[in-house]
Amino acid sequence: MRTSAFVTWLGVGLLSAVSARAETLPVWWAPSLAGPQIEALEEVFEAPFPAPIQMQGPRGAKLSVTSCDEAADAVSRNFKAVAPAAQDRVMKCVATAHVLFAAEAGTSTFRQPVNQLDGRPVPGGAPKPLSTAHVETLPAMLAPFEGCGFGVLALRASDRFWSLLRFAHVYGAAQEDDGRDADTLNGKGDKALKVQETAGGLSLRQNGLAVQLSLLALADFDADGTEDALIQKKGGGDSGGLYMVSQFREGAVMNLKNLSTHYKSLLRRCPDLMLDMARTSQENAEASE
Amino acid sequence: MIRLLVLTFCLMVPALAQAAYIAPALETTSPDDDFGAIFEGEEEGEPGFVILARDTLFGETERRVESCVDFMQAQDEGFTDITQNGTPFFDDWLWVRCAALDQLRDAGPMSTNAPKPLTPALIDRLPALVSERAACTDKVAAAKAALRGETWLSFEGTRQGKDTAFEWREQPPAQFDLIAGSDQESTVLAVSSATADSLRLHLNGATGAVERLAQFDQDGDGVDDMLVYVYWESAVFGAYRRALLWLKGAEPEAPYTLLLPQTALGETIALCPDHISDVVAGPDALQK
């Protein structure tokens, strides 16, 4: 009797554990991509453009794309829109493709907590909008900057889990890395990082350079079970683009994904600087030994 | 008159030196024509083809190509896996041949005179990127050493320990010995055979080769450069390293450096994406 009760208890426990773990977070995308139904997203993906977009790829190959699915496919094959004005549209097509083929995540720090499980909040609700506080958790690569020099420093800083604010404090405001990052936030003068929450996300300005960050989608894009955020960075010259981030725990600096893609882009644009960096990194390593 | 003859001769010498040596293994008389030519099929008289695939969730997943020009275009667009090969070449050699023909399209007239055959002494002049080491930490270190002009043997000596040095013995089988202080520790590198265009190597349980595919003054500095195919295989990893490297020649007997260092760096990072921080220096580097 005691044995069968134990088995029943174990079975119920296991089943409830499985069902609790099986709960996943529905894929979310911003209204700027499409309406909330999956059909709307598919329609946007397949609908013809008002006018074809010209793209250029490896070895000077040219391509004319007439819909989002063609544009996303072209980008995945290393093509880029010829006209900078078309870049925004193409970037949204890439985001749409990511969303259509993404999985639902098991865990997330990007959602509002709505449910309770064993007294703990379970994220499952609407996405947290980008707020001023996010400058302390977004990776350095999303800071306002332009040019290869800052690009490579931002990449290095992101790889070392530096926040956007820490990067802005040290490299944008030319301050010591003294932990007083908040001093750089919303102060006076050009060197201060001005942050403003907008309807679509965040507006950042530093040293006369303005960028807009928009949250485009939340899903498990890389099948690791954790929810990723797809963020668009507009402005910032050559540092604009689509960035994928994840967060290991609430309040931690986010992990910038696909670092090698960003590195290769810098290597293509500024080979001499990147070669110098690689050589010097060796010298530094030797000097520290 | 004599002056004029001397001047004419001096002008002719570099013109003659521009003729490119292309190894017979590439089976080409005109790299440019062969780059665009339709592949030969497995059956004589039949056209050949290759099916290439890429890892993607959306869009084009496979592409059929019938010439090197289309093969290299597809490679650059991410179609890197050969899933079907309807040519007489092995997969690896197909890639080597197409990539080499691509590099040699602008080589100019081909030379009928073969350069000096390769000898094991070449080992002492190869850049660190030739390294057989399989771990990413080592690969990235080798790439950085090569960027700084370090030779393979110097790099290998550093990796083995600061008191080591390599010693070259002029007796078969040619071998480099690792010396710790005054005691010989172990043989680390042996050249088991050499043909005019290739050296077969053995190191730490791995077998490899350095094969010369072409030699001429690629960068126009008056000194011959060399296009080589480097590969390594072992019982543990199988065939784990293949690379085409342009070696930049300097003075005679001086070490070769990399002619296209950014390509080598990009390929290394593509293989070892988690090692970016190892190739990105701090802000001090920008102030130089």
* pLDDT tens readout for residues A227-246: 999 999 998 777 789 999 99
d(CA A278, CA A155): 14
- Which pLDDT does position B264 carry in this prediction? 92
Beta-carbon separation of A275 and B58 below 8 A: no
A33 DSSP assignment: T
Q: What is the mean pLDDT of residues A80-100?
A: 93
- Interacting residues of A167 by C-beta distance below 8 A, sequence separation 6+: A140, A143, A153, A154, A157
- Interacting residues of A40 by C-beta distance below 8 A, sequence separation 6+: A34
Beta-carbon separation of A77 and B279 below 8 A: no
- Which pLDDT does position B80 carry in this prediction? 94
Beta-carbon separation of A263 and B269 below 8 A: yes
Angle between helices A84-100 and A68-76 (to 10 degrees): 90
- Which pLDDT does position B203 carry in this prediction? 83
Would the pLDDT of A15 be above 60? no
Q: Is A147 on the interface with B (CB under 8 A)?
A: no
In chain A, residues with a C-beta closer than 8 Å to the C-beta of B145 are 282
In chain A, residues with a C-beta closer than 8 Å to the C-beta of B273 are 259-260
In DSSP terms, A256 is beta-bridged to A245
Nearest-CA distance A1 → chain B (Å): 53
d(CA B86, CA B89): 8
Q: Is A274 on the interface with B (CB under 8 A)?
A: yes
At A19, the pLDDT band (50, 70, 90 cuts) reads very low
Q: Which of B145, B261, B280 sits opposite A156 (nearest CB)?
A: B280
At A29, the pLDDT band (50, 70, 90 cuts) reads very high
Interface test with B, best of A77, A261, A284 (most B CBs within 10 A): A77
In chain A, residues with a C-beta closer than 8 Å to the C-beta of B268 are none
Beta-carbon separation of A153 and B286 below 8 A: yes
d(CA A70, CA A64): 9
- The CA-based diameter of chain A, rounded to the nearest angstrom, is 77
Each residue of A263-280: pLDDT tens digit?
999 999 999 999 998 988
A119 DSSP assignment: T
| B158, A285 Cβ separation under 8 angstroms | no
Nearest-CA distance A77 → chain B (Å): 4
Beta-carbon separation of A275 and B265 below 8 A: yes
Interface test with A, best of B77, B148, B268 (most A CBs within 10 A): B77
Would the pLDDT of A22 be above 80? no
Q: Is B287 on the interface with A (CB under 8 A)?
A: no
- Which pLDDT does position B57 carry in this prediction? 83
- Which pLDDT does position A188 carry in this prediction? 87
Nearest-CA distance B114 → chain A (Å): 32
Beta-carbon separation of B281 and A277 below 8 A: yes
Residue with tokens 């959602």: A111
Nearest-CA distance A270 → chain B (Å): 10
ipTM: 0.82
- Interacting residues of A284 by C-beta distance below 8 A, sequence separation 6+: B281, B282, B284
Q: Is B279 on the interface with A (CB under 8 A)?
A: yes
Beta-carbon separation of B144 and A276 below 8 A: no
Beta-carbon separation of A260 and B72 below 8 A: no
Structure tokens at A62: 């040219």
Report the residue of chain A nearest B146, measured CA to CA: A279
Beta-carbon separation of A284 and B281 below 8 A: yes
Beta-carbon separation of B58 and A76 below 8 A: yes
d(CA A105, CA B99): 41
Task: Pick A24 or B4 by higher pLDDT.
Answer: A24
Nearest-CA distance A23 → chain B (Å): 24
Q: Is B127 on the interface with A (CB under 8 A)?
A: no
Interface test with A, best of B52, B58, B62, B102 (most A CBs within 10 A): B58
d(CA A148, CA A143): 14
pTM: 0.84
In chain A, residues with a C-beta closer than 8 Å to the C-beta of B261 are 275
d(CA B18, CA B225): 11
Residue A230 host element (H or E): strand A228-235
Would the pLDDT of A197 be above 90? yes
- Which pLDDT does position A17 carry in this prediction? 42
Q: Is A196 on the interface with B (CB under 8 A)?
A: no
Q: Which amino acid is at A289?
A: E
- Which pLDDT does position A126 carry in this prediction? 85
Q: Which of A58, A74, A101 sits opposite B57 (nearest CB)?
A: A101
Alpha-carbon distance values, A87 to A82, A233, B44 (Å): 8, 12, 48
- Which pLDDT does position B114 carry in this prediction? 79
> What residues of chain B, 251 to 270, have a C-beta less than 8 Å from chain A?
261-262, 265-266, 269-270
Q: Is B145 on the interface with A (CB under 8 A)?
A: yes
- Which pLDDT does position B12 carry in this prediction? 46
- Which pLDDT does position B11 carry in this prediction? 46
pLDDT in tens, chain B (288 residues): 555 545 454 444 444 446 899 999 999 989 999 999 999 998 888 899 999 999 988 889 999 999 999 999 999 999 999 999 999 999 999 999 999 999 999 887 888 777 889 988 888 899 999 998 889 999 999 999 999 999 998 888 888 765 555 555 555 566 666 555 555 555 567 887 778 999 998 887 889 999 999 999 988 888 889 999 999 999 888 888 899 999 998 887 889 999 999 999 999 999 999 898 889 877 766 654
In chain A, alpha helices (H): 2-22, 38-46, 68-76, 84-100, 148-159, 164-167, 259-269, 271-288
Would the pLDDT of A18 be above 50? no
Average pLDDT of chain A? Answer: 87
d(CA B55, CA B58): 9
Report the residue of chain B nearest A262, measured CA to CA: B276
